[in-house]
Amino acid sequence: MRISIPVLVAAAFVLAACSSTGDNSGDTGSTGQSTSSGNTQVATAPAGPKPGSQMDLTINVGDRVLFAFDSSSLSAESRTTIERWAAWLKTYPANSVIIEGHTDERGTREYNLALGERRADSARDYLVSLGVNTNRVKVVSFGKERPAIAGSNENAWGQNRRAALVLAK
Partner 1 sequence: MNFELKRPRLFSAVLAALAITVLISAPVRAEITVDITKGNVEPLPIAVPDFVAGGEAARRFSADIASVVAADLERSGLFKPIDKRAFIAQPDGLAVTPRFNNWKPLNAQALVVGEIGIEPNGALRVSFRLWDVFSEDQMTGLSLTTTQANWRRVAHIIADTIYERVTGEVGYFDTRIVYIAESGPPEKRIKRLSIMDQDGANHRFLTDGQTLVLTPRFSPAQQEITYLAYFNNQPRVYLFNIDTGEQELLGDFPGMTFAPRFSPDGNSVVMSFAENGNSDIYAMDLRTRRVRQLTNSASIDTGPSYAPDGRQVVFESDRGGSQQLYVMGSDGSGQKRISFGDGRYATPVWSPRGDLIAFTKIFRGDFHIGIMRPDGSGERLLTRGFLVEGPTWAPNGRVLMYFRQERSDERGRGGTPRLFSIDLTGFNEREIGTPVGGSDPAWSPGPLKQ
- Minimum gap (Å) between residue 103 Cβ and partner 1: 12
β-bridge mates for residue 20, sequence order: none
- Minimum gap (Å) between residue 74 Cβ and partner 1: 12
Residue 115, interface with partner 1 (CB under 8 A)? yes
Q: Out of 61, 114, 128, 130, which residue is the one contacting partner 1 (CB under 8 A)? A: 114
Under 8 Å between Cβ of 140 and 98: yes
Count residues binding partner 1 (CB under 8 A): 31
- Minimum gap (Å) between residue 117 Cβ and partner 1: 4
Nearer to partner 1, 16 or 137 (CB): 137
- Minimum gap (Å) between residue 110 Cβ and partner 1: 4
| Residue list 81-110, contact with partner 1 (CB under 8 A) | 98, 105-110
The interface mask with partner 1, positions 137-166, x = CB under 8 A, is: --xxxx--xxxxxxxxx--x----------
Residues that bind partner 1 (CB under 8 A): 72, 98, 105-111, 113-115, 117-118, 121-122, 125, 139-142, 145-153, 156
